[in-house]
Amino acid sequence: MGYYKNFKSKLLALLLLLFISVIAVLNLLSADRSFSESENRMLEQLPHFSLKALLSGDFTADFEKYVSDQFVFRDFWMGAKTDMDRMMGKKESNGIYIGKDGYLIQNFIPPAEKDLEEKVDAIHAFDHATPGLDKYVMLAPTAAAIYQDKLPKYTIIGDQEAYLKKVKQWMYPNLRFIDVFPSLYAARDQPIYYKTDHHWTTKGAYIAYLELCRQMGLTPQKEEEFNIQQVTDEFYGSLYSKSGFRHVQSDRLELYLPKDQEKYTVTYVDEEKTTDSLYAMEQLQRKDKYAVFLNGNHARIHIKTANPSGRKLLVVKDSYANSLITFLLKHFSEIHVVDLRYYEEDLASFVHEQGIQDMLLLYNANTFFEDPSIKNVTE
């Protein structure tokens, strides 16, 4: 009996050693990956060794990240971990909650007040530099604010709506704050946010467009004027990638295509590429299918439409605007799209040079509160 027990212990130890050895060899033989399709992000690469980096601790910290990112079968291990967590009743991973009806909902962390003041001050400074420009500010709430009842029980997150109201109160009166929270909340029973992605759906963007038209004095296009086309039902978005939660239902992605669509041109300025469509259909074959809208994010895009009015619009934005811009083609002769995360020129000078009359600043709440790039609006 003792012999059998001893043999079993040695066998288990040998199998464990064999497993570790095989994994170690596979890690050595496997080529490093630069990008993770499942996580939709760039992966850490082998850090450069130097004595200074070693002594400071930077090398060991970076090497640990590198090993973690390049670990063999990483996607499998991540999926196995979150599956085990779900079996044990865990409802949160990397700041993402798995809620009712299959919704993945990103936590909202309240911003530091000083940082928020600096962002509003930057917008005010830009307003002083462009006195002839009519400005509209739209900060879109995320699903965390609209779908609080879908969060797991006893979940406590920041009050996003309260911070949106605070920004509205701090804005100069001539900066017209477009509050889309009531409209989106009223439509919450419709599919206005993706379940696996942090963006609003094209339906959600359309509802925000209706409110924008009301504030800008534009006559909105009716939904009946569009062919609403589902282009995929296999969309797994950013929250799916970030959380590691698997075995959730994929999203459908729809395009609103005008029935009487007129010709227009879309120029990606830095890339020196021009096309006749807002949609990069090839992105539907890739992981980040939301990039079908405007082919993802770019520093500057110029859209020229068939509208003869001569009215020009500047959209300063994050990716929430990508699915809304299609609704604006009928209303403007030119639309200039700027993403301050990549744009490095003086924006006020650009407004004067182009003779732009209207500006829409459109961010989702998380990006506005977390990303510092909005402060570049005055640089």
CB of 316 within 8 A of CB of 338?
A: yes
Q: Could you tell me which residue, 185 or 6, shows the higher pLDDT?
A: 185
Spatial distance between the Cα atoms of 311 and 308, rounded to a whole number of angstroms: 8
Whether 186 and 146 map to the same domain: the answer is yes
Whether 164 and 261 map to the same domain: the answer is yes
Spatial distance between the Cα atoms of 34 and 21, rounded to a whole number of angstroms: 25
Whether 94 and 236 map to the same domain: the answer is no
> Hunting for tokens 């539907």 — which residue is that?
284
Nearest alpha carbon to residue 260 among 234, 224, 208, 284: 224
Whether 162 and 257 map to the same domain: the answer is yes
Whether 169 and 305 map to the same domain: the answer is yes
Q: How confident is the model at residue 378 (pLDDT cuts 50, 70, 90)?
A: confident
**pLDDT score, position 208:** 98
65-79, 234-248, 351-365, range with the lowest pLDDT: 65-79
Percent of the chain exceeding pLDDT 70 equals 86
Whether 154 and 98 map to the same domain: the answer is no
**Is the confidence at residue 257, as pLDDT, over 60?**
yes
**pLDDT score, position 89:** 60
Whether 61 and 175 map to the same domain: the answer is no
CB of 370 within 8 A of CB of 111?
A: yes
**pLDDT score, position 212:** 98
Residue 62 lies in domain: 2-102
Q: Could you tell me which residue, 86 or 268, shows the higher pLDDT?
A: 268
Q: Please compute the mean of the pLDDT values over residues 101-130 and round it to a whole number.
A: 96
Whether 307 and 238 map to the same domain: the answer is yes
Strand partners, 235: 251
HSE-CB of 184 using CA atoms within 13 angstroms: 28
pLDDT in tens, 338-347: 999 999 999 9
Q: What's the domain count of the chain?
A: 2
Whether 231 and 96 map to the same domain: the answer is no
Boundary of a domain, candidates 75, 102, 129: 102
**Is the confidence at residue 37, as pLDDT, over 60?**
no
Q: Is 94 left (phi over 0), alpha (psi -120 to 50) or beta?
A: left
**Is the confidence at residue 300, as pLDDT, over 80?**
yes
Spatial distance between the Cα atoms of 16 and 25, rounded to a whole number of angstroms: 14
Nearest alpha carbon to residue 279 among 322, 317, 312, 335: 322
**Is the confidence at residue 42, as pLDDT, over 70?**
no
**Is the confidence at residue 320, as pLDDT, over 70?**
yes
Collect all residues with Cβ–Cβ distance below 8 Å to 230 and sequence separation of at least 6.
252, 253, 254
Q: Please compute the mean of the pLDDT values over residues 362-374 and round it to a whole number.
A: 95
**pLDDT score, position 63:** 74
Q: In this structure, are strands 358-364 and 312-317 parallel, antiparallel, or unpaired? A: parallel
**Is the confidence at residue 244, as pLDDT, over 90?**
no
**Is the confidence at residue 18, as pLDDT, over 90?**
no
**pLDDT score, position 260:** 87
**Is the confidence at residue 70, as pLDDT, over 90?**
no
Boundary of a domain, candidates 43, 67, 102: 102
Collect all residues with Cβ–Cβ distance below 8 Å to 8 and sequence separation of at least 6.
none
Percent of the chain exceeding pLDDT 90 equals 70
Find how far residue 336's CA is from the centre of its chain: 20
Q: Which two tokens stand for residue 30?
A: 């496997």
| Host H or E run for residue 301 | strand 300-304
Q: What Rg value do the Cα atoms of the chain yield, rounded?
A: 24
Whether 185 and 323 map to the same domain: the answer is yes
**pLDDT score, position 27:** 64
Whether 66 and 185 map to the same domain: the answer is no
**pLDDT score, position 72:** 63
Boundary of a domain, candidates 84, 102, 120: 102
Q: Is 102 left (phi over 0), alpha (psi -120 to 50) or beta?
A: left
How would DSSP label each residue in 329-378?
Answer: GGG-SEEEEE-TTT--S-HHHHHHHHT--EEEEEEEHHHHHH-GGGGGGG
Q: How confident is the model at residue 178 (pLDDT cuts 50, 70, 90)?
A: very high
**Is the confidence at residue 77, as pLDDT, over 60?**
no
**pLDDT score, position 69:** 63
Q: Which two tokens stand for residue 287?
A: 């992981």
pLDDT averaged over the chain?
Answer: 89
CB of 222 within 8 A of CB of 275?
A: no
Q: In this structure, are strands 312-317 and 96-98 parallel, antiparallel, or unpaired? A: unpaired
Whether 51 and 193 map to the same domain: the answer is no
